[in-house]
Amino acid sequence: MVALASAQVVTLDSVLKVIDRKNPMLQEYDNKVKALNEYSTGAKSWMAPMVGAGTFMTPYGNQMLMEESDKGSWMFSLEQQIPNPAKLNANKKYLQSRAGVEEEGRFIQFNNLRTEAKTYYYQWLVAEEKITVLKENERIIELMLKLARIRYPYNQGSLGNIYKAEGRLSEVQNMLLMTRADIEDKSYRLKAIMNLLPSDSIMIDTATVIKFSVDQIINDTSQLNTQRSDIRQINRTIEVMRLNQQLQKFQAKPDFKIRFDHMQPIGNMPTQFTAMAMVSIPIAPWSSKMYRAEVRGMQYDIEAMKKGREGILIETRGMLAGMANQIIRMKQQLENYDTKIIPALRKNYQTLMLSYEENREQLPLVIDGWEALNMAQMEYLNKREEYYKMIVSYEKELEK
């Protein structure tokens, strides 16, 4: 109780903010994006220049030299490749676009973590309500047991009734232990995805109200296309493929190279040099096959991704419509429990309990009435938990 009193109360929004800021799985994507952005900064770099030194037309030893020029020269070379600017720009755009795919991957991972956190939070919320119901049931059974023990010496009850009440009391206490253990489990799981220490104490906001309304986005494919991160990731991947395709098309553009050689004669001869400019011919048939095949293959990949995106959208629309209908039906069941079933069973139990207190009814019937009420209450809370899970699944598909 001391730990509970000192625990920090966290709302669902604050939990999600902590996950967004501290979860290592999301930080992994952040670093991947930074890495890709850094890679793109060097995309327009040139190859390093090449320098060399050696001899030029130098005769082997022990040979007769006919002229002074036969002694050869010392040679110094400088060479620089000059890539095509269009290729460099296309390569930079391609590398920059890859970071966008990782950014959408982060959104996908956050959506999974958000769904997980909501599930634990709502399960904990229901478990707290179960604790309240079970404590009330414990108080009721203890009252029945007290009355049974008082009446037994006066032959107004049987020993079997006492044992039956004791058994039901132990069952309720066991359920309390199980529910508290379930709360501890959800607490540890929630702290894990928040990247908190296991020793940290947190408590959910038990006043949290979960509301549901059908989102009209299921009727708007364009909005669904922009809201779901997996669809956006496909769109980003298609854009990456298009930029890579453009980069491959630019392979048909030539690259350049310049070279300067300086010859310093060993003998009595004038100094000499050579200057050369070179250009590649990528449109030659034996070199163009590769990048042309790459361009055609990427186009097929792009068309395949478009079809995959279309399939996901169609499936999602149908899934959301079905999930919304199920949630509405479950909400109607919960309303029936809340307004009809549980109130009727509670009145039945209260009537039996009043009769028992006035010595007009037997304890087994009172216990039966209480068990019917208890089962209905537990079933109601279990359905509430299922209802919350359905909402979480629905919101996961909508990424809300």
Query: In CATH, what number is assigned to the domain containing residue 300?
Result: 1.20.1600.10
In this predicted structure, the answer to whether residue 67 has a pLDDT above a threshold of 80 is no
* Long-range contacts of the stretch 358-362 (C-beta < 8 A, 24+): 359/151, 359/156, 362/157, 362/161
Q: How many domains does the chain have?
A: 1
Whether 163 maps to a domain, the answer reads yes
Please report, rounded to a whole number, the percentage of residues in the chain having pLDDT higher than 90.
53
In this predicted structure, the answer to whether residue 341 has a pLDDT above a threshold of 60 is yes
What is the C-alpha to C-alpha distance for residues 38 and 99, in angstroms, rounded to an integer? Answer: 10
In this prediction, residue 359 carries a pLDDT of: 80
In this prediction, residue 374 carries a pLDDT of: 92
In this prediction, residue 316 carries a pLDDT of: 87
Whether 322 maps to a domain, the answer reads yes
Most confident of 50-59, 76-85, 267-276: 76-85
Q: Which two tokens stand for residue 115?
A: 């769904």
Whether 316 maps to a domain, the answer reads yes
Write phi, then psi, for 62 (nearest 5 degrees).
Answer: 60, 30
Total Cβ atoms within 10 A of residue 85? 11
In this prediction, residue 15 carries a pLDDT of: 94
Q: How confident is the model at residue 155 (pLDDT cuts 50, 70, 90)?
A: low
Structural domain of residue 272, as residue ranges?
A: 2-56+69-398
What is the C-alpha to C-alpha distance for residues 286 and 307, in angstroms, rounded to an integer? Answer: 34
In this prediction, residue 291 carries a pLDDT of: 84
In this prediction, residue 361 carries a pLDDT of: 79
In this predicted structure, the answer to whether residue 2 has a pLDDT above a threshold of 60 is no
The least confident of 56-60, 276-280, 387-391 is: 56-60
Q: Which two tokens stand for residue 218?
A: 């299921």
Whether 248 maps to a domain, the answer reads yes
172 by Cβ neighbours in 10 Å (0-12 / 13-18 / 19+) ranks as buried
What is the C-alpha to C-alpha distance for residues 400 and 386, in angstroms, rounded to an integer? Answer: 19
In this prediction, residue 168 carries a pLDDT of: 87
What's this model's pTM, rounded to 2 decimal places? 0.84
* Interval 23-48 mean pLDDT: 90
In this prediction, residue 1 carries a pLDDT of: 38
Residues 256 and 81: beta-carbon distance below 8 Å: yes
* Interval 10-24 mean pLDDT: 94
What is the C-alpha to C-alpha distance for residues 15 and 21, in angstroms, rounded to an integer? Answer: 10
- Tens digit of pLDDT for each residue in 203-249? 999 998 888 888 776 666 777 788 889 999 999 999 999 999 998 88
DSSP assignment, residue 254?
Answer: -
Whether 63 maps to a domain, the answer reads no
In this prediction, residue 132 carries a pLDDT of: 94
Q: How confident is the model at residue 149 (pLDDT cuts 50, 70, 90)?
A: confident
In this predicted structure, the answer to whether residue 66 has a pLDDT above a threshold of 80 is no
Whether 61 maps to a domain, the answer reads no
* Interval 299-321 mean pLDDT: 90
Whether 166 maps to a domain, the answer reads yes
Whether 16 maps to a domain, the answer reads yes
Q: Distance between the two ends of the chain, CA-based, in angstroms?
A: 35
In this predicted structure, the answer to whether residue 3 has a pLDDT above a threshold of 70 is no
What is the C-alpha to C-alpha distance for residues 241 and 223, in angstroms, rounded to an integer? Answer: 23
